A and B are shown apart, each in its own frame.
Chain A
Amino acid sequence: MFRSLQSDDHNLITLSVNGRSVKARKGQSVWSAMAVASEVVTRKAALSGNARSAYCAMGVCFECMVEIDGLANQQACLSRVAEGMNVSTQVITEDTEADAGL
């Protein structure tokens, strides 16, 4: 279980992770905000659909790719939280179909 060592309530913002409202500190990485909120599954592997999570947390493994505000393939460990941000586990497997075009 991940937890923050900071106890003060300054600079808190609210974002949504997989539809859940989550508090995080301004400037914090999206990944660590997810970790503290126990939302550790960042993506589903493309072939097996197995759950994956951040491995390196420094931008070299690309395991923490999530969808942020509708944009896929965002590395959660390199992205910063923002007020009102919408983060979700990325599910793009070989079977995923796009919504019909307009």
Chain B
Amino acid sequence: MQAFDCAIVGAGPAGMSAALALTQGGADVIVLDRADRAGGQIYRSASSSPLPDAASLGPDYAAGADLITRFERSGAKHLAGADAWHIGDDGRILFSYQGDTRELHCREMLLCPGAMERPMPIPGWTLPGVMTAGAAQVMLKSDAVVADGAVFAGSGPLLYLIVAQYLRLGVRVAALVDTTPRRHYLDAAPLLPRAWRQVGQLRKGLSLLREIRAAGVDTYRYAENLEVIGEETAKGLRFSISGQPHEVSADTVFLHHGVQPNLNMTRAMGLAHHWNNAQMCWQVTVDEFGQSAISHVSVAGDGAGIVGADGACAAGRVVAQNMLYHLGRVSRTGRDRNSHADLYYLSSMKPFRRFIDCLYRPTEALRLPRDTETLVCRCEEQSLGDLRAGFEQGARDPNALKSLTRCGMGPCQGRQCGHVVTGLLAQWRKESPDAVGYYRLRSPQRLLTVDELGRYNTIPAEAAK
């Protein structure tokens, strides 16, 4: 088994930035990432775009290419295609690599599991043709594949970004159905003056909206009561505005209302989590250096609470300084000095984050299903009605409800239903999400064939390298 000073899981902005700082500090670093190329979701394929004109994706994406290049030259060992499925609090990582299970040990461990999109359990959300806006991004960045005549629905900067990117590339957009409620603008307005410190970020957001408006895309604002139309596949989106019904025809419906930390890795490890009421999601409990209650385990980036790509880069550098301190490679004062600027940046981001979180706070109507037939658990096809029946049979805990109904038992391991179940139980029990809790998760974090696991521990040491 190989041993390293530091192992980083996830080669997104946080993981790459941390690896850069750690190697600069003299540490021996390995970075595991299941993708073929570094970049994470946000900088996916940034250094190897299949697009004829990658500049159309914007300057932020181009900045990612630079980070990837620096990371690849850093001296950190990057194991592309390594899919970690067990992360132990003893510093052991088991991962799938080229069809086998491999194992490594490390003194310091950094988890950068990133974010995933918040599921939107509206009627019809399981129909073929309904995808997330992030899915549109992934297909565009990785494979230069786009959907003509799609409708984009929901709220938040990532939704406007992909619409703008489509328009720049000449892809027809059927409509943008914005669900940001009118009252959110009023609620967020008082937070605007302090958010002004991040004037650049605000300008970027405004220019996206202007760009969409200028392109003449049908834009509906203050939409409510979303419902995907279609029997076997999506045929369009139905919604209402101030009680007036509307309908847009489309074969493809892209949904988005924010992102949330990808929890399974930190949950399966047994780290403490708490409910973030501003972002309406669970997040792992770590200190300002990203360190968890287990001192050699740290978490950085969106996986530790949504901070965005720039925030993730800063957080990665901060966590790296703390890890170097643990390794005895910098003093405590050295750590504090080296991370001062990034910590200041992260705290200066907070007013802007608060403004964005308030403006684009996911509405309960889109976060929690309302029709009894709407599926909560896509894998095991458990609807709101099924869960309510389970609750009425005494299953008040997310795990009890899972045991009784199979909600959360399928291959996605609760990634799609977990937050919804917490939300529903909190509502039904009239308690806080923290009191309700979440699923007890376990490794593996991916499906593993009997064949692959069966070969574990029988692979000769040489071959395992």
Contact residues of A with B, CB < 8 Å?
1-7, 25, 27-29, 31-32, 35-36, 40-41, 45-48, 50-63, 65, 71, 73, 77-78, 80
Contact = CB atoms under 8 A, between A and B. Distances in A.
A36 B142 CA distance: 14
Contacts of B232: 50-51
A56 B381 contact: no
Interface stretch (B126-134, B306-314, B354-362): B126-134
Contact of A58 (B50, B135, B169, B449): B135
A89 B208 CA distance: 38
Contact of A62 (B142, B252, B411): B411
Nearest first, the 6 closest Cβ-Cβ pairs linking A and B are A53-B128, A57-B135, A32-B143, A62-B411, A62-B412, A5-B144
Interface string B32-74: 0010100001000000001110000000000000000000000
B23 interface: no
B441 interface: no
B287 interface: no
B148 interface: yes
A80 B411 CA distance: 20
A6 B144 contact: yes
Interface in B132-150: 132, 134-135, 138-139, 142-149
A61 B251 contact: no
B145 A77 contact: no
Contacts of B412: 60-62
B233 A51 contact: yes
Given A41-B128, A56-B116, A5 B447 contact: no
Given A35-B147, A63-B126, 18 more contacts: A3-B145, A5-B51, A5-B52, A5-B169, A25-B50, A29-B142, A40-B128, A45-B126, A54-B135, A55-B125, A55-B131, A55-B135, A55-B378, A56-B135, A57-B139, A58-B138, A62-B410, A65-B411
A56 B297 CA distance: 29
B144 A4 contact: yes
Interface of B: 34, 36, 41, 50-52, 116-117, 125-132, 134-135, 138-139, 142-149, 169, 232-233, 251-252, 262, 378-381, 410-412, 415-416, 447, 449
Contacts of B449: 71
Provide the main secondary structure of the chain A interface.
Answer: loop
Contacts, number: 125
A78 B96 CA distance: 13
A32 B45 CA distance: 15
A69 to B, nearest CB: 13
B251 A1 contact: yes
A32 B132 contact: no
Nearest to A51: B128
A36 B144 CA distance: 11
Given A4-B144, A52-B126, A58-B135, A73 B447 contact: yes
B116 A73 contact: no
A56 B146 contact: no
A61 B416 CA distance: 6
Contacts of B52: 5-7
B436 to A, nearest CB: 22
A51 B134 CA distance: 21
Contacts of A46: 379-381
Contact of B143 (A1, A29, A55): A29
Interface centre among A35, A45, A57 (most CB of B within 10 A): A57
A2 B146 contact: yes
B131 A54 contact: yes
A2 B380 CA distance: 28
23 contacts: A2-B147, A3-B148, A4-B146, A5-B51, A5-B145, A6-B50, A27-B36, A27-B50, A29-B139, A35-B147, A45-B126, A46-B379, A51-B232, A52-B128, A53-B233, A54-B135, A55-B416, A58-B135, A60-B262, A61-B378, A61-B415, A62-B412, A73-B447
